[in-house]
Amino acid sequence: MKGKKRKQLKITAPQTEAGGMAAVLSAAKHIFTEAGLVSGTRTLLRVNQFNGYDCPGCAWPDPDEGRSVVEFCENGAKAVAEEATLARCDEHFFARHRVADMRNWSDYEIGKSGRITRPFIYRQGTDCYEPVEWDEAFGLISKTLRNLASPDEAVFYTSGRTSNEAAFLYQLFVRMYGTNNLPDCSNMCHESSGVALSETVGIGKGSVKLEDFYCTELIIIMGQNPGSNHPRMLSALERAKKNGARIITINPLPEAGLMAFRHPQHLSGLAGKATPITDLWLQVKVNEDVALLKALLKILLQMDERRSGTVLDHDFIQSKTTGFDALCADLQRYTIDELIARTGIPAEKVYEAATWIAEKKKIIVCWAMGLTQHKNAVDNIRELTNLLLLKGSIGKPGAGTCPVRGHSNVQGDRTMGIWENPRPEFLDSLKRVFKFEPPRKPGYNTTAAIAAMAAGKVKVFFAMGGNFLSAAPDTHFTARALEQCLLTVHVSTKLNRSHLYTGKTGLILPCLGRTELDVQASGVQFVTVENSTGVVHQSRGGKKPASPYLLSEPKIVAELAKATLDSTSLNWDELVSNYDNIRNLIAQTIPGFDHYNERVRKPGGFYLPNAVREGMFSTTENKAHFTLNALPDYQLAPDEFLLMTIRSHDQYNTTIYGLHDRYRGVHNGRYVVFVNPTDMERLGLKPEQPVDLVSCYDGVIRRARRFRVVPYNIPQQNIAAYFPEANPVVPHNHAANKSHTPISKSVIVKLENPVA
Ligand SMILES: Nc1nc2c(c(=O)[nH]1)N[C@H]1C(S)=C(S)[C@@H](COP(=O)(O)OP(=O)(O)OC[C@H]3O[C@@H](n4cnc5c(=O)[nH]c(N)nc54)[C@H](O)[C@@H]3O)O[C@H]1N2
Ligand SMILES: Nc1nc2c(c(=O)[nH]1)N[C@H]1C(S)=C(S)[C@@H](COP(=O)(O)OP(=O)(O)OC[C@H]3O[C@@H](n4cnc5c(=O)[nH]c(N)nc54)[C@H](O)[C@@H]3O)O[C@H]1N2
Ligand SMILES: [Mo]
């Protein structure tokens, strides 16, 4: 692909529905081009089956029973194709390509280099990766770790594909080594949801099950684009609608998948009519969700007064919550008109939404990154919880919170202790079971880790999966921070940008992917994962590994622990010889996992306990909390915009599958910025004109170069560009209050003429 002439950017009209034949064809194209016909089909048939592997695409739950033959979606197929690719990133590849050259490749080009076949090492001054033996690699890591002045000089990042077994062993090793420096992708993702939900209802996870979608009356989808990022959710929404539910969508963009859906696995979806999904679309301005929610809360309170207390669930409020009076008093500070004016939504639509909410008793709110990646992200989620609490719409069938998770096991990793700020009870359990004193000082989260590396306080960066550099904010700053390290190590399946900006020494340790056969001393193993609704289930790969040198993630952790820790009571070899042994330890340590090995062998797995689901709130007073939330506070100059960095339909985070955002009508390119036509006219911008995105925080100018202007249906003074291309303008040191999540969905930028 390198050296091939790049096709010209093409802009077409955005689509108004998702799925259908185009989705089937696109899925087929990706899997057969990457993996070949026979292997591709075989691999796809095992996805999300009871005895198959968990789709690495997203964390949307599988039906508890009655799964179709192919429980996958277009973008799941692309995720599988990426892993099953026949391309190989081996010693011949690295002999041909210098690191400095590869830095000029796009993330798309880097990712298409293929599966990494063996461990590689980068030594400062060589500008290339060379093969290294596993033993030497482990020896080097352990020597560097043991020579640090303090264990806190090392950081251990995790991305959300890591299985429960690998994650548990990894955090155990890291804490035995002596630090809580365990940042993860969650810090950039749903951390704001975890913080807000823990505080208001007592558990940092969602409360609904898949079947709640089938008996709910109203679904509110905020800041989420399921058509591209959780396509299997569209089937659940389709079924919810058949059962009579209504759907309100709150989004600055008219996302195709939220407008209408053709089920690609049903004949009626391929031929006949598409199912309309959204009944009412509220085109909110970026980061004005709190204003919108407050307007809704106020209208509901007024209606309740007029209708003699029949709109809100006063029994629930009385018996299960605290803070209702304070909330009512606080809302007096605002007028409905001023709140609605901020949102940019026509008032009649807001009143219509309020009327629907008033009439319904069973409401689910779903949300994702559109709410979690702002300065006031935690407030967004606290405010939507206020809405659900007013309606008593939490902890009963057909109602509750649904933060739709990203990575397929990001929720499980947290449950396993991948957390820089673990609860004391969790550490107490580790102490009880493993007889060591775990570190108590909180560790670095993602943004703190970047700052600490930049300041020279962290000398070893170790990543269990992911692509830290491209995923993190402030790409150039983060690259410099990584380069400050003595040693950077990435456990990876495929080459990515993080491998190209190393410490003095850089290591790539290649591992098995989700779809591959994992054989250890006792035989074939399976791993387990937790989905968005708290179901823990098996994932069993079946494909021949991409190379005989690959190790599983648990095996890599075990080797690292053996090489690094002085003495532990654990027999790490025995643990990884049979993953049942790891699961037995998890069962002893973490509540809800008793009889783990037995229960996870049942088809479909088991639900973890979730008190909120049962209508119980494990906060200090055992009550849910209403909270008081301020409106976001910033002024935009006439030439400033709020930039949201979003995903196209053709990527998985930093893995770029292809260059088509079919639903939004963008083809052959990703350096585009979506701008409102009135703003374009006001500023004299022409379609496809090149501009730089420029942000300025605390006097520091950050620039992302050469984006093409695309006129789009987006609110005025809001713009959108793709993640990770726009990440250079996201400041690393401005993050959400309390959750520290980068402000990737509301960065203040200007559009400037490109500098050379
Ligand atoms: N195919 C595919 N699947 C994926 C991923 C992928 O990259 N590709 N990524 C996975 C991961 S890790 C995650 S976290 C999820 C991400 O899933 P999403 O959260 O759906 O992903 P984003 O593209 O970040 O989309 C955010 C949506 O929020 C809207 N939005 C932006 N700002 C605001 C705002 O201020 N208010 C409101 N109400 N809406 C706003 C945008 O218009 C967009 O529709 O998907 C997971 N699944
Ligand atoms: N501006 C902006 N930035 C964002 C976001 C945004 O919306 N806007 N979203 C944020 C979000 S929600 C997230 S979750 C993060 C994602 O951050 P990460 O999770 O760090 O990034 P990914 O792109 O998912 O990681 C891809 C890499 O994972 C490796 N990989 C794939 N499968 C496996 C496996 O099975 N094992 C191992 N060991 N490695 C594997 C491959 O080498 C691949 O290159 O990005 C965040 N960054
Ligand atoms: Mo995510």
Please report, as a single letter, which amino acid is at residue 459: K
Alpha-carbon gap, residue 587 to 424, rounded angstroms: 18
Predicted pLDDT of residue 77: 79
Q: What would the two tokens of residue 269 be?
A: 């979806």
Q: What value does the mean pLDDT take over residues 644-653?
A: 96
DSSP 3-state of 692: strand
CA distances from 426 to 32, 173, 542 (A): 45, 15, 34
- Residues 118-123: what's their mean pLDDT? 98
The span from the CA of 412 to the CA of 253, in Å, is 31
pLDDT for 143 equals: 98
Q: Please check the confidence at residue 68 and state whether its pLDDT lies above 60.
A: no
Residue 538 confidence (pLDDT) above 70: yes
Of 467, 556, 746, the residue with max ligand 2 atoms within 8 A of its CB, to mutate for a pocket test, comes to 467
Distance (Å, whole) CA 194 – CA 188:
12
Local confidence band at 751 (pLDDT 50, 70, 90 cut-offs): very high
> Using CA atoms, how far apart are residues 110 and 114, in angstroms rounded to an integer?
9
How do 505-510 and 487-492 pair as beta strands?
Answer: parallel
Q: Which residues contact 196 (CB under 8 A, 6 or more apart)?
A: 378, 379, 380, 381, 382, 385, 739
pLDDT greater than 80 at residue 48: no
Output the average pLDDT for the chain: 93
> Token pair for residue 406?
């990203």
The answer for residues whose C-beta is within 8 angstroms of residue 224's C-beta and 6 or more apart is: 230, 251, 366, 367, 368, 369, 370, 404
3-state DSSP call for residue 123? strand
Task: Give the Cα-Cα-Cα angle 703, 494, 24 (nearest 5 degrees).
Answer: 90
What is the distance between the alpha carbons of residues 273 and 558, in angstroms, rounded to a whole number?
A: 54
Q: Give the model's pLDDT for residue 268.
A: 63
pLDDT over 90 (residue 31) = no
Quote the pLDDT of residue 1: 47
| 183 C-alpha to ligand 2 centroid (Å) | 13
Ligand nearest to the CA of 714: 1
| Torsion of Cα atoms, 331 then 337 then 338 then 341, to 10° | 130
Across the range 247-272, mean pLDDT stands at 82
Kindly report the CA angle at 414 between 410 and 416, in degrees rounded to 5? 115
**For atom 20 of ligand 2, which residue has the closest CA?**
466
Tokens 């088991």 -> residue: 606
Asked if omega into 724 is within 30° of 0 (cis), the reply is yes
Query: 160: CA distance to ligand 2 center in Å?
Result: 8
**Is 72's pLDDT higher than 60?**
no
Is the pLDDT at 69 greater than 50? The verdict is no
For 384-412, how does the pLDDT look when each residue is reduced to its tens digit (9 = 90+)? 999 999 999 999 999 999 999 989 899 99
In ligand 1, the atom with minimum distance to the C-alpha of 368 is: 19
Helix 231-242 to helix 74-84 angle (10° resolution) is 160
Q: What are phi and psi of 365, to 5 degrees?
A: -110, 125
More confident residue, 65 or 215: 215
Handedness of CA 387, 389, 394, 396 (dihedral sign): negative
Residues having CB closer than 6 A to ligand 2 are: 159-161, 185, 188-189, 369, 373, 406-407, 464-468, 471, 491-494, 496, 511, 513-514, 553, 645, 653-655, 723, 727, 730, 744
pLDDT confidence of residue 80: 80
- Between 289-306 and 377-390, two packed helices, what is the crossing angle to 10 degrees? 20
- Residue ranges of domains in the chain, CATH in brackets: 88-189+409-612 (3.40.50.740), 191-403 (3.40.228.10), 640-752 (2.40.40.20)
Give the span between the Cα atoms of 642 and 638, in whole angstroms.
11
- 247 CA distance to ligand 2 centroid (A)? 30
Contact 582, 169 (CB under 8 A): yes
CA of 406 to the centre of ligand 1 (A): 9
Q: What is the pLDDT of residue 132?
A: 98
Give the other-Cβ count within 10 Å of 61's Cβ: 22
Cβ-based burial of 658 (10 A; exposed 0-12, middle 13-18, buried ≥19): buried
